[in-house]
């Protein structure tokens, strides 16, 4: 696993006890004193999680893929967003990306705005970004085509963090808890229109009649479809 925020090594020890002897822990902290927690199972890197170049410098030093990534660093909006942009691709399929202490999304001290009732939420916060993730997961329908005939996300989904870190292709589920977001990764396919296993009748209304079409279950399973 990778954890941003080593501090006094407390959580590193907790993860070691939770995951057991097989744990490979990679800790990141801006404070050089965190280096003292380096051990045979823990590797510590010193740097600023808000600096994209720092993440680039870790290429080849961190494993190519990790099971679990946890952002428990400085908790500012910039730090959380840059980290999500750069580190989400590190998590392997079936792995989990976690960002904690999301209460800072409501604090000006951490680069956000306080939530005012009816304001639609704090601008620029990680929580706001997390809410957008829900739209991204449904981007194929966001243009209003709920029957999804063209399998294309509309143009507003072609830019920003989620357009550049593999989110569309791999963000399988979002789990919101108080102050914590977990993103479970898996292979995510663009929706396909498949009709099978029944007759077609028109949807709703007194004029609903069978149009005479029988759909057979398709031979090709969704798993065999190519990645988009
Ligand atoms: C909440 S503490 C981590 C606590 C630790 N995970 C635990 O539970 O025992 C936050 C840590 O993030 C580090 N930190 C703060 N800003 C950072 C930054 N920009 N980049 C990397 N680490 C940072 C701090 O030095 C501090 O050690």
For 8-54, the DSSP string reads: TSHHHHHHHHHH-TT--EEEEESSGGGGGG--SSEEEEES-TT-HHH
CA pair distance 5, 27, nearest whole angstrom: 7
Residue 60 belongs to domain spanning: 2-185
Note whether residue 65 is domain-resident: yes
- From residue 84, alpha-carbon distances to 34, 110, 150, 186 in Å are 22, 16, 29, 17
Q: Are 4 and 49 in contact (CB under 8 A)?
A: yes
Residues 6+ apart with CB under 8 A from 80: 71, 73, 99, 104, 126
6 CA from centroid of ligand 1 (Å): 6
Per-residue pLDDT band for 221 (boundaries 50, 70, 90) equals low
The pTM of the full predicted model, rounded to 2 decimals, is: 0.89
Q: Assess if residue 56 is contained within a domain.
A: yes
**Does any domain span residue 222?**
no
Domain count, the chain: 1
Q: What is the mean pLDDT of the chain?
A: 89
CATH number of the domain at 137, please. Answer: 3.40.50.150
> Looking at the domain assignment, is residue 213 inside a domain?
no
Strands 180-185 and 91-99: antiparallel
**pLDDT, tens digit (0-9, with 9 covering 90-100), for 1-51:** 999 999 999 999 999 999 999 999 999 999 999 999 999 999 999 999 999
Residue of 25, 21, 29, 30 whose CA lies nearest to 12: 25
Contact present, 105 and 125 (Cβ < 8 Å): yes
Q: What residues does ligand 1 touch, defined as CB less than 6 Å away?
A: 4-7, 10-11, 28-31, 48-50, 72-74, 79
- Assigned domain for 66 exists: yes
Return the DSSP state at 227. P
> How many angstroms separate the alpha carbon of residue 113 from the centre of ligand 1?
22
Residue 228's pLDDT band, with cuts at 50, 70 and 90, is: very low
Distance between CA atoms of 160 and 177, rounded to whole angstroms? 25
Cα 214 from Cα 210, distance rounded (Å): 9
Determine the distance separating the centroid of ligand 1 and the alpha carbon of 28, expressed in angstroms.
8
Look at residue 211 and tell me if it is in a domain.
no
């Amino acid at each position: 696993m990778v954890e941003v925020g080593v501090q006094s090594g407390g959580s590193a020890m907790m993860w070691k006890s939770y995951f057991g002897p097989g744990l490979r822990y990679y800790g990141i902290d801006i404070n050089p004193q965190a280096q003292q927690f380096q051990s045979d199972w823990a590797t510590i890197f010193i740097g600023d999680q808000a600096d994209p170049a720092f993440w680039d410098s870790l290429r080849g030093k961190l494993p190519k893929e990790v099971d679990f990534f946890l952002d428990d660093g400085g908790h500012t909006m910039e730090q959380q967003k840059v980290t999500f942009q750069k580190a989400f691709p590190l998590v392997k399929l079936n792995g989990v990306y976690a960002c904690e202490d999301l209460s800072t999304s409501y604090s000006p001290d951490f680069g956000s705005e306080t939530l005012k009732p009816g304001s639609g939420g704090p601008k620029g916060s990680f929580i706001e970004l997390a809410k957008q993730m829900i739209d991204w997961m449904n981007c194929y329908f966001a243009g209003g085509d709920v029957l999804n005939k063209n399998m294309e996300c509309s143009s507003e989904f072609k830019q920003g963090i989620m357009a550049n870190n593999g989110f569309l292709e791999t963000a399988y589920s979002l789990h919101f808890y108080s102050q914590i977001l977990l993103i479970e990764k898996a292979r995510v396919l663009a929706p396909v229109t498949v009709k099978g296993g029944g007759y077609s009748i028109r949807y709703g209304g007194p004029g609903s009649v069978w149009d005479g079409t029988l759909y057979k279950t398709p031979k090709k399973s969704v798993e065999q479809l190519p990645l988009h």
